[in-house]
Amino acid sequence: MSRNYAVNDEVHHVAQGPQGREPVRMPRIYTVIGILPIEPDGRPRYRIRSKVGLIERVVTEDEIVRAALN
């Protein structure tokens, strides 16, 4: 399976609200810092780090979208 993101790509983490409702907060900009093994169900995983606060997360590809270029 091909991946849509690479290390150093800027992405938004799109957190899903309770029971699939709208996100509860504005998405932050994160940088992809690592490519992780693919989930057993075929979803690619990534390690991302926020630009503010240095928060790190492990996410699947369906939880992130490419940040708009300025």
Q: Would you list the domain boundaries of the chain?
A: 10-66
Would you state the pLDDT for residue 39?
92
Task: Check residue 46 and give its pLDDT.
Answer: 97
Asked if the model's pLDDT at residue 1 lies above 80, the reply is no
**Strands in the chain per DSSP E:** 10-13, 29-36, 45-50, 56-60, 64-66
Asked if pLDDT for residue 59 goes beyond 80, the answer is yes
Mean pLDDT of 21-37: 80
pLDDT of res. 24? 56
Confidence of residue 33 (pLDDT cuts 50, 70, 90): very high
Q: Is the pTM of this model over 0.85?
A: no
